[in-house]
Amino acid sequence: MSLEFTLNHDAPALAAVDCVVVGAFADASLSPAAKAVDETSGGRLSALLAR
């Protein structure tokens, strides 16, 4: 099985896709795109980083 990815500049929090790649760093800081996804998802990225 292989995966195919297409790069685009759509707002990741609003993209109708199966996978979104955003930056989450060792100090638990988030890239601007990751912050948008985190806000849209009700803080799910932050919760994962806090584990």
- Domain ranges in the chain are 23-51
> Mean pLDDT, to the nearest integer, of 5-25?
86
- pLDDT at site 43: 96
> Mean pLDDT, to the nearest integer, of 27-41?
94
Entry pTM = 0.77
Alpha-carbon span 51 to 35, nearest angstrom: 17
